[in-house]
Structure 1
Amino acid sequence: MPLQRLNWALATQRSVEIWVRRDDLIDTHLSGNKFYKLYYNLRAAKAAGYKQLLSFGGAYSNHIYALAAAAKAYGFQAVGVIRGERPKYLSPTLQDAEAWGMKLHFVSRTDYRERSSPELRQKLTDIYGDFFEIPEGGANAYGVQGTKALGVAIHRQVKSDYTSVCLASGTANTLAGVAAGLQRAGDLAQKVIGFSVLKDAGDRGFQSLGAQVINYQKAINESTSNWCLINGFHGGGYGKKLPTNMRQFMTGFECETELQLDPVYTAKMCWGVAQLLAKDYWQSGSRLVLIHTGGLQGRRGFDL
């Protein structure tokens, strides 16, 4: 995927060079980090002889959207277990998923919190038959194996000529994989910075996210220290309406840079980068690589 030099006055004022890895351009529907997270999951499902995929997500889930598109493209049936009761009118995301052949199974928010329970899995098996289960967001060992390839790809583009790689972080699966891929490629000193998009990532929850990075890396026999998580730029929480100051920032950023963002992930990462630039977090002469993780279809849920 191309690296795009970002024409951003704030970075120029700080003499910081910023490039954006445009993984949102991978595919119209299967874009960004979802492509990498699903790649090895689909390979594993096919190798094991599964014909049906099942996963979890919300009404505007980028993961559900990408999974439905991938299932149609590669000949799988798919089931999406959706958080909340079925609404009178489906979101555009779920309309697309259903049009591509995904079966939508709605569960209460209480039941959704128990989505890893054997009872729910048995119920789903009774209804739909055998399936290859992919966790919410594609966050498993196959997912981190795929995002590790993203880290290797970035190294091939920029070698070690960068200060930080920045990305939005939800489950921390992509952070774990990119960090592992860059370190495997030989980038030992530079940091991969994950900007958490979760409101409840503070205190113990934030420590838990860090532990997840370590666990994901262990799942692919990797161990790195070239990463960090930063909290405080969640904008009110995952999938929430952006506060006025962040919405204004997003609008201004898009106008200035001509780079479209999604409000759940990349807008928060760029907002975080802006705040750190203003505080001279990076020295003059630094070179940053921001990963655009896609998800632009989710703008429809924010009237964008």
Structure 2
Amino acid sequence: MNLIPESPLQKITCSILSEQRISLSIKRDDLLHPLISGNKWRKLKYNLTAMKTEGKTELVTFGGAFSNHIHACAAAGKQFNLKTHGIIRGPELDRHNPTLQFAKQCGMQLHPVTRIEYRERNTPDYLAQLQAYFPNAYILPEGGTNKAALLGCRELAQSLPHTDYVLCPTGSGGTLAGLIEGCDKTTQVLGVAVLKQADYLVDEIKSLSAIATQQQNWQLLTAFHDGGYGKFSPKLWQFCQMMQTQHKLPLEPIYSGKMMYALWQLIAQGYFPAGSRIVAIHTGGLQGLDGLRYRQLID
């Protein structure tokens, strides 16, 4: 578990930053591991430890057809020789879907369920039935967010240099909660929500982290979802391509791309005081680009 080395920081330089005397570095967690990258590894690390401690031999988790989490769990199963199961949203499997193809190649057993059944994934009765069906399984929530996940995300925070602002994309809230736990009180922690109507996540984050309830040094920004989860505008995709061309920073428009685009807009609006030091977390998920191409949403 500790053989995966720490990811590098990439310094970004350009005129908009120098004009406002802002220092920006990207924590390249997309480079943590070629297949189990970004926040997915951070969340999995201590869940896999807990799984071993509990004597479980199989991993059961949940995700959509193009899920980064499903991709990472399947890869972890192959890497650590674990039997994995994916409960997949939707009544049928698309055999040509690149994420699901990869998961199968890693040995993950895929179990498609109806969207109605999938909505039950967090209810105690459904989880009890699932545990009875998979008695040797460690059941991991969708996205990998739970108390054990926070330990890995707190480690991420502790690996960063002292800085004024830390930003991350926010889907389920686990990464943001872990960063709040691990960052210094003097650091402002900003989560960029990637889905619409995400204000409910504030309570989710507080339920995960007692520190988030006590401290005021964090905020969830909900105005940068760009249409909702899995949606993005041509402008956002053009921005992602510009960052690749000009700064050698690969982005996808679902998570880290949205966060970086939000950051760029905030900088242009003068949100950050002159002299601010900012670290933005690249949470990986670049495998999602294959799914976007497969659906002909990008070239």
TM-score with structure 2 setting the length = 0.91
Is residue 84 of structure 1 aligned with residue 87 of structure 2? no
CA drift of 1:137 comes to 0.7
Q: Residue 204 of structure 2 is aligned with which of 212, 236, 248?
A: 212
Q: Matches of 2:94 and 2:218 in 1, distance apart?
A: 43
| Aligned match for 1:243, one of 233, 256, 262 | 233
Q: 1:50 to 1:24 in 2, by over 3 A?
A: same
Question: Counterpart of 1:190 in structure 2: which amino acid?
Answer: T
Structure 1 position 102 matched with structure 2 position 108: yes
CA distance in 2, matches of 1:214, 1:262: 28
| 8 Å CA contact 2:236, 2:253 repeated in 1 | no
Structure 1 residue 191 corresponds to structure 2 residue 191: no
Matched, 1:297 2:287: yes
Counterpart residue type for residue 177 of structure 1: G
Say if 1:180 and 1:223, in contact at 8 Å, map to a contact too: no
Change (3 A) 1:89 1:8: farther
Q: Offset of 1:6 from its aligned partner?
A: 0.8
My pick for the range that moved more, 126-135 or 68-77, is 126-135
How far off is 1:124 after superposition? 3.7
What is aligned with 1:175?
Answer: 176
- 1:285 corresponding residue in structure 2: 275
Q: How does 1:63-74 map to 2 (within 5 A)?
A: 63-74=69-80
- Three-state SS of the structure 2 residue aligned to 1:268 is helix
Q: Which amino acid aligns with 1:49?
A: G
Please give the secondary structure, in 1, of the residue aligned with 2:87. Answer: strand
In structure 2, list runs of 5 or more residues that go unmatched: 1-6
For residues 188-215 of structure 1, what are the alpha-carbon distances to aligned partners after superposition, in whole Å with 9 as ceiling and x for unaligned? Answer: 22201100001121xxxx0x21111211
Provide the C-alpha distance between the structure 2 equivalents of 1:10 and 1:231, rounded to a whole number of angstroms: 24
The alignment-based identity, stated in percent, is 39
Structure 1 residue 243 displacement after superposition: 1.1
Change (3 A) 1:88 1:141: closer
**Runs ≥4 in structure 1, deviation > 4 angstroms?**
125-129, 220-223
Amino acid at match of 2:245: C
Q: Equivalents in 1 of 2:174, 2:14: separation in Å?
A: 29
Alpha-carbon contact 1:53-1:77 (below 8 Å) kept: yes
CA gap of 1:221–1:14, structure 2 versus 1, over 3 A, is closer
Q: Is 1:148 the counterpart of 2:148 in the alignment?
A: no
For residues 72 and 224 of structure 1, the distance between their equivalents in structure 2, rounded to whole angstroms, comes to 40
Partner Cα separation in structure 2 for residue 31 and residue 43 of structure 1: 17
Aligned to 1:60: 66
The structure-2 alpha-carbon separation of the partners of 1:5 and 1:272, relative to structure 1 and needing over 3 Å to count, comes to: same
In 2, are the aligned partners of 1:8 and 1:256 still within 8 Å (CA)? no
Contact 2:85–2:109 (Cα < 8 Å) also in 1: yes
Pairwise CA distance, 1:217: 1.1
The TM-score with structure 1 as length reference comes to 0.89
Retained in 2: the 8 A contact 1:180–1:222?
no
Asked whether the equivalents of residues 81 and 106 of structure 1 are also in contact (C-alpha less than 8 Å), the reply is yes
Give, in whole Å, the separation in 2 of the partners of 1:8 and 1:253.
11
Q: Which amino acid aligns with 1:192?
A: V
Would you say the 8 A contact 1:21–1:292 is kept in 2? yes
Equivalences for 1:224-235 in 2 at 5 Å?
224-235=215-226
Query: Structure 1's 88 and 287: CA in aligned 2 closer, same or farther, altered over 3 A?
Result: closer
Contact 1:7 1:256 (C-alpha < 8 Å) held by counterparts: no
Which structure: greater helix fraction? 1
Query: Which residue identity lines up with residue 235 of structure 1 in the other structure?
Result: D
Give the Cα–Cα distance (whole angstroms) in 1 for the partners of residues 173 and 128 of structure 2: 28
Matches of 2:277 and 2:19, distance apart in 1 = 14
Give, in whole Å, the separation in 2 of the partners of 1:250 and 1:113.
32
Q: For 1:290 and 1:172, how far apart are their aligned partners in 2? A: 16
- Return the offset for 1:116: 2.1
Match of 1:15 in 2: 21
1:145-175 deviations in Å (ceiling 9; x for gaps): 2111111111xxx2x3x22011101111111
Q: Which residue of 1 aligns with 2:247?
A: 257
Residue 4 (structure 1) aligns with: 10
Rate the CA distance shift 1:7–1:54 in 2: closer, same or farther, 3 A: same
Shift of 1:75: 2.2
Note the residue ranges of structure 1 that are not aligned, 5 or more in a row: none
Residues paired across the two proteins, number: 288
